[in-house]
Amino acid sequence: MGFVDYEVKDKIAIITINREKALNALNSQVLDDLSAVLDGVDTDVVRALILTGAGEKSFVAGADIGEMSTLSKAEGSAFAKKGNDLFRRIETFPIPVIAAINGFALGGGCEISMSCDFRICAESAVFGQPEVGLGITPGFGGTQRLARLVGPGMAKQLIYTAKNIKADEALRIGLVNKVVPLEELLPTAEKLANQIAANAPIAVRACKKAINEGLELDMDKAVALEAEIFGTCFETEDQREGMANFLRKKDDPAKVKVVDFKNK
Ligand code: CAA
């Protein structure tokens, strides 16, 4: 589809932003294409997504500067809302989304990666929020998610100076979980996605919901939410099978098996 490729590999799928000539910059069409691809994800089958960029140079080099250059105030707000609605959809997508960052992750590129559940990157990756150098603020959630991820002091430094950082610094400040050579990026992402996909899918989704929604609450409400979500797991076949498997193992180690979770 247009600027976004979608490939299902058994229980995981890879979404690739493919506008390589513009370093995968996000124009309105790319945002619409990404939204349409998300519409088509069959979450009964796919248990984890990987989001990456086409080519070896750039993950996403930001929102499209050409498209933004002539926007009015109202159009600027509408463009930001369009990106924010999509990124919020990624953030709250029922299954985990791993960002596999294969190069530049600037502006909207850093922002879309932060809407994913976690980030791994190539050694060549470069992160930054260059917006103030263009006379604008981050507009796709950067002021909010960067501050939440790396703390307000570091976020303010990165955003106010508009200075890019390399992969090792991104790892040090907690923006990414892991740095690997470029050729190992997708295999590493796929391995992580498959590890997730091997676990009980309803429980994984419930964890995503509990972490995301719990972070917005005070601790009393957050643990109450966790308790409620925990309870819902006991209505699933996967809970019964997962625990029965453990108990069988205790009886007789020969009975150990890999549970084929049913997503039920
Ligand atoms: N928007 C539109 N086009 C872009 C782009 C962007 N964000 N980033 C790169 N491109 C285009 C370039 O215009 C160029 O196109 P042409 O070949 O047609 O000239 C092509 O991609 C290749 O880019 P460069 O020639 O610039 O490649 P380079 O290797 O010299 O530099 C780079 C790479 C440092 C990433 C540089 O392209 C760059 O600085 N890009 C802009 C990064 C940026 O400022 N991003 C933030 C945008 S603002 C934003 O995202 C706001 C928000 O929060 C919503």
Q: Which residue among 19, 23, 159 has the greatest number of ligand 1 atoms within 8 angstroms of its CB, and so is best to mutate? A: 23
Catalogue all structural domains in the chain, each as residue range(s) with its CATH number. Answer: 4-197 (3.90.226.10), 201-255 (1.10.12.10)
List pLDDT tens digits, range 140-153: 999 999 999 999 99
Element (H, E) at 60: strand 58-60
CA distance 158 to 147: 10
CA distance 250 to 144: 47
The two structure tokens encoding residue 50: 């990987």
Tell me which residue has its CA closest to atom 32 in ligand 1. 61
Mean per-residue pLDDT, 96-110: 98
How long is the chain?
264
Whether 131 is a known active-site residue: answer yes
- Give the Å distances, CA to CA, from 205 to 37, 41, 195, 219: 20, 15, 14, 21
Mean per-residue pLDDT, 109-138: 98
Query: Is the Cβ–Cβ distance between 63 and 34 less than 8 Å?
Result: no
Does residue 255 register a pLDDT over 80? Answer: no
Of 92, 50, 87, nearest to 195 by C-alpha is: 50
Tell me which residue has its CA closest to atom 27 in ligand 1. 23
The two structure tokens encoding residue 255: 């009975």
Mean per-residue pLDDT, 22-51: 98
23 lines ligand 1 (CB under 6 A): yes
**Which of 91, 111, 190, 226 does the annotation list as catalytic?**
111
Q: Which residue among 19, 65, 115, 127 has the greatest number of ligand 1 atoms within 8 angstroms of its CB, and so is best to mutate? A: 65
List pLDDT tens digits, range 179-225: 999 999 999 999 999 999 999 999 999 999 999 999 999 999 999 99
22 lines ligand 1 (CB under 6 A): yes
How many other CB atoms are there within 10 angstroms of residue 2's CB atom?
Answer: 13
pTM of the model: 0.97
